[in-house]
Amino acid sequence: MFELGLTEAQRKRLRTTNSLENLNQQIKRRTAVARLFPNEASLLRLASAVLMEISEEWETGRRYLPRDDA
């Protein structure tokens, strides 16, 4: 196994799939509201908007992998 210089807490977060499961759950929840999409592009547009929103939260809000020096 290669060493990334991560702390124990960071390694635990990377080891689990909780974040991926949560991400898939949020996409499913948002797309279930619309139910029917006129075409594939509209589904991709909604899923992309959800992913961009989550990405922005991760970048500006809470940190998923907090660094000790920050």
- pLDDT at position 64: 60
Tell whether 46 is covered by a domain. yes
Tell whether 5 is covered by a domain. no
- Its domain, for residue 22, covers 16-60
- Give residue-wise pLDDT tens across range 28-67: 998 888 788 899 999 899 999 999 998 888 777 666 656 6
* pTM of this prediction exceeds 0.75: no
**Which position has the higher pLDDT, 70 or 66?**
66
Tokens of 25: 């759950």
- pLDDT at position 60: 78
Tell whether 41 is covered by a domain. yes
Tokens of 6: 């991560």
Residue with tokens 């922005």: 56
Tell whether 9 is covered by a domain. no
DSSP structural state of residue 17 = -
Tell whether 66 is covered by a domain. no
- pLDDT at position 66: 60
Tell whether 4 is covered by a domain. no
Domain count for the chain, please give it: 1
Tell whether 23 is covered by a domain. yes
What CA dihedral angle connects 3, 18, 57 and 60, to 10 degrees? -30
